[in-house]
Amino acid sequence: MTPGVLLDAVPDAQCGEANQLLSPIDGSCVTTDVFGNPRIDAGNSKRDIGAVQTAQIPILGRHLGHRRHRPGLEPPPDPTSGPITGYRVTRVAVAGGTPQSVDVTGPDTTSTTITGLTLGTPYRFTVAPLNVTGPGSPSNQVLATPLGDVGPPTPTATGGDSSAQVFWTEPALGGRPGPPSYFVMYRPTGTTTWIAGPGPLSARTTSIPGLTNGTTYDVGVFATSTDGTASTLATTTVTPVGPPEAPTLTATPGGPGTGQIVLSWTKPVDGGSPITSYLVQCRTTGSDTWTAYSASGLGTSLTVTGLQPGTLYQCEVAAVNANGAGPWSASAEASPPPVTPTTDPSTTTTATSTTTTIAPPTTTDPSATPICRHQPICRHQPIFRHRQRRLAGKERWRVPASTV
């Protein structure tokens, strides 16, 4: 048999003749096939014995896409009943359902895109050639499952003490096999180099340790299907927060006899939350008992009073914010100086001395040698010198026993 040629095998097939073809429904004479083509050869009154012979069967291939399928085929040769004018592509879900067809025009068209498919649903596809006599026999069946992209997760993150807790939603896999695996990355905001975090993960949460409190980070999450298809990277930001770091403390003695030491400290890194106050504690060095002192406001110094002069004290300070108290500083030591003895001028005795030159006493003896009263210098007369002294603050002088 030649495709496209009627088999004129039944003679006397015209209506009213002996071998006319009658409809089993209403008994009417049938002269055309289901496509409206003549069933009887008017030249010899013969009727074909079966369906019209059309184009040969094409060979169907496939190409998968996003929510679509692109069948490809090897076109058959044109039948004698007429050249191929197009193709009819038919699809039906493997699980069952109503077949749907799309006609594609053009004899040289060997592929088309079928849209509106359900991702991850397997379909059967066939294609049949078309010419003036209608569709030919369908091709071989092709099974195909349309696949889409793996959707990105949607992450959120909560800052902790030097850490971040990350959560994300389950993404759409685009019909690809699962379950998905997840990978986490992070970097300080404003930098370009990603740091690999935990992964692969099956759970949709994880913790990132080792972060710096008060620093903002970009956190990214992406998913992969079991066939290795990865989603795009979805990001969020997070700032770890915790208690402040330890201050740096110094201690210096107060004034002598005041029983005080003066503490000063530097403001530490606040841990991502503002510092609200400071804690101070002191003890005598070597003791196990600490005494707490109140440091008001946000000042960075405190005078500790009521201490024992001459005793060595050890003090520490810690900063506080909304996340709690930070670690105590390294200890600083100082000793309040004791009282310095003072001098009362009213009770102090100071000895002073003077030297006085005294002339010899005069004599009443006229024969005695004059005292050289009228001479400028008496070189030969003895001189009496008396040392006398008095107590400071007294007016009376005292002459000691030795007068020469």
pLDDT digits (tens, 9 = 90+) for 24-35: 777 788 888 766
Distance CA 252, CA 320 (A): 24
Is 49 inside a domain boundary?
no
Secondary structure of 221-279 as H, E, C letters = EEEECCCCCECCCEEEEECCCCCCCCCCEEEEECCCCCCCEEEEECCCCCCCCCEEEEE
Residue 257 has pLDDT above 50, yes or no: yes
pLDDT of residue 362: 55
Domain boundary among 238, 262, 279: 238
User: Do 222 and 165 reside in the same domain of the chain?
Assistant: yes
What average pLDDT does the segment 363-391 reach? 52
Q: For 272-299, how does the pLDDT look when each residue is reduced to its tens digit (9 = 90+)? A: 889 999 999 999 998 999 999 988 888 9
Q: Are 293 and 318 in contact (CB under 8 A)?
A: no
Residue 371 has pLDDT above 80, yes or no: no
pLDDT of residue 1: 43
Torsion over CA: 358, 361, 362, 368 (sign):
negative
CA 248 from centre of chain: 29
Is 3 inside a domain boundary?
no
Is 119 inside a domain boundary?
yes
Using DSSP's 3-state secondary structure scheme, residue 346 falls into helix
Secondary structure of 6-33 as H, E, C letters = CCEEECCCCCCCCCCCECCCCCCECCEC
pLDDT of residue 284: 95
Closest residue by Cα to residue 120 from 144, 146, 142:
146
User: Is residue 70 exposed (0-12), middle (13-18) or buried (19+ Cβ within 10 Å)?
Assistant: middle
Domain tally, the chain: 4
User: Do 114 and 136 reside in the same domain of the chain?
Assistant: yes
Secondary structure of 135-176 as H, E, C letters = ECCCCCCEEECCCCCCCCCCEEEEEECCEEEEEECCCCCCCC
User: Do 83 and 134 reside in the same domain of the chain?
Assistant: yes
pLDDT of residue 365: 54
Residue 73 has pLDDT above 90, yes or no: no
Distance CA 186, CA 219 (A): 4
With cut-offs at 50, 70 and 90, classify the pLDDT of residue 192: very high
Closest residue by Cα to residue 283 from 255, 316, 326, 318:
316
User: Do 122 and 167 reside in the same domain of the chain?
Assistant: no
Higher pLDDT, 388 or 245: 245
Single-letter amino acid code for the residue at 130: L
pLDDT of residue 69: 55
With cut-offs at 50, 70 and 90, classify the pLDDT of residue 223: very high
Range of the domain at 264: 249-334
Residue 2 has pLDDT above 50, yes or no: no
Is 94 inside a domain boundary?
yes
Is 307 inside a domain boundary?
yes
Distance CA 67, CA 236 (A): 30
With cut-offs at 50, 70 and 90, classify the pLDDT of residue 401: low
Q: How many helices and strands (H and E) does the chain possess?
A: 0, 29
Residue 215 has pLDDT above 70, yes or no: yes
Record the tokens describing residue 69, joined without a space.
Answer: 């399928």
Is 226 inside a domain boundary?
yes
Higher pLDDT, 67 or 218: 218
Distance CA 218, CA 164 (A): 11
pLDDT of residue 44: 79
User: Do 159 and 232 reside in the same domain of the chain?
Assistant: yes
Q: Are 273 and 241 in contact (CB under 8 A)?
A: yes
Give the angle 351-355-357 at the CA atoms, nearest 5°: 155
Distance CA 113, CA 93 (A): 16
The maximal CA–CA distance of the chain, rounded, in angstroms, is 219
pLDDT of residue 351: 47
Long-range (24+ apart) CB contacts under 8 A made by 163-166 are 163/207, 163/208, 163/209, 163/210, 163/211, 163/240, 164/207, 164/208, 164/211, 164/217, 164/219, 164/238, 164/240, 165/205, 165/206, 165/207, 166/205, 166/206, 166/207, 166/208, 166/219, 166/221, 166/236, 166/238
Pick the range with the lowest mean pLDDT from 213-222, 316-325, 337-346.
Answer: 337-346
With cut-offs at 50, 70 and 90, classify the pLDDT of residue 3: very low
User: Do 380 and 327 reside in the same domain of the chain?
Assistant: no
User: Do 129 and 187 reside in the same domain of the chain?
Assistant: no
pLDDT of residue 56: 52
Q: For 133-185, how does the pLDDT look when each residue is reduced to its tens digit (9 = 90+)? A: 888 888 888 888 888 899 999 999 999 999 999 999 999 999 899 899 999 99
Is 34 inside a domain boundary?
no
What average pLDDT does the segment 100-105 reach? 92
Domain boundary among 107, 122, 144: 144
In CATH, what number is assigned to the domain containing residue 75?
2.60.40.10
User: What's the whole-model pTM score?
Assistant: 0.55
Is 31 inside a domain boundary?
no
Cα–Cα separations (whole angstroms), residue 31 to 14, 21, 38, 239: 8, 7, 6, 84
Domain boundary among 95, 120, 144: 144
pLDDT of residue 390: 56
User: SS3 breakdown of the chain: % helix, strand, coil, rounded to 5?
Assistant: 0, 40, 60
